[in-house]
Amino acid sequence: MCWRLATQLAERGHSVTLYVDDASALQWMAPLGSPGVTVLAWPKEAASFDIEDTAQVVIEAFGCDLPQGYQAAMAAWPKAPVWINLEYFSAEDEALRNHGLPSPVLHGPAKGLSKWFFYPGLSEKSGGLLHGPRPQAAMPLADNCLRISVFCYEPASLGKWLKQLSELPQSVRLQVTAGRATQAVRLAMQALEPDHRLEVKELPYVSQTEFDQLLAAQDLNLVRGEDSLARAIWAGKAFLWQIYHQDDGVHLSKLSAFLKASQAPDVVVQAHLAWNADQATALPVLSPAVLKEWTAWAIDLRTRLSQQTDLLTRLESWAAAHG
């Protein structure tokens, strides 16, 4: 998401410096880079910065803490920047209550400055979602094949779900993304009968543009984390979200809030709860009627969100009002 945000800011004429602790993934996510975006290694804690390094807006993304040296530089700049703490996506009421609140810095080199909480979400009262290119959906193929993309962690229900898919009357084509999803599917496939009819294609690492196109060409998209959730929403196809697991179980409250805010029908709620369960749980059978209802929900969600301003626009407005 940070790369998408950086590139979209640059496309609107902003000069962007993106500090990351590991930029290696950008070699396949964005092999061509982006004009207007400079990528630098995450600074060391006590690194010093010149006056030329000043910025009008500083965004802390996803709970990172700015190095002490950078905070000291911010405090010394002629004009304090708008300091935004970009939080994780959430549809919970608590996130809406905290969105836009200031957090005065009481200690350390940035004492006296304030940062502002900014929560991406589904509500007009939240930070919104980051828009992006919306590729045209592929026309349904004439082979009656069910097309599914798989981008997941290691869901406990994966093996049971693959068995369910193998028992469907139509053929199923799985496009499995590189990395953890490939390893998880390989392991789960070992439990299937040798004569199963699933067609599995293991994909190489793909760019963000290619990933968007992949989602648009499927009947169902399995996504994980935050950026791919937004991409699945904008693709307008049925999707199944695996939320990042947390040992204390708070991720399930976050998932429930999303399902409620998105007005998910019962069958979509059941599928998400089963997919995110700690124990192997059967998902609703993916019949034509189920897929039709699932897709209608996804299209309605995309339509409603497309009528709102996007996260980038809200960020720009927020920075302008508080700068």
* pLDDT tens for each residue of the chain, 323 residues long: 999 999 999 999 999 999 999 999 999 999 999 999 999 999 999 898 887 788 999 999 988 899 999 999 999 999 999 999 999 999 999 999 999 999 999 999 999 999 999 999 999 999 999 997 655 554 555 568 999 999 999 999 999 999 999 999 999 999 999 999 999 999 999 999 888 889 999 999 999 999 999 999 999 999 999 999 999 999 999 999 999 888 787 889 999 999 999 999 999 999 999 999 999 999 999 999 999 999 999 999 999 999 999 999 999 999 999 98
CB 130 within 8 A of CB 5: yes
- Taken in order 115, 120, 122, 124, the sign of the CA dihedral is positive
β-strand pairing of 37-41 with 16-20 = parallel
Contacts 24+ apart (CB under 8 A), 280-289: 280/156, 280/157, 280/159, 280/160, 281/156, 281/157, 281/160, 282/157, 282/160, 282/161, 282/164, 283/157, 283/160, 283/161, 283/164, 285/164, 285/168, 286/146, 286/164, 286/165, 286/168, 286/220
For CATH 3.40.50, list the domain ranges present in the chain.
146-306
What is the distance of C-alpha 106 from the center of its chain? 32
Q: Rounded to 5 degrees, what are φ and ψ at 298? A: -65, -40
Q: What is the pTM of this model?
A: 0.94
Fold classified for 146-306: Rossmann fold (3.40.50)
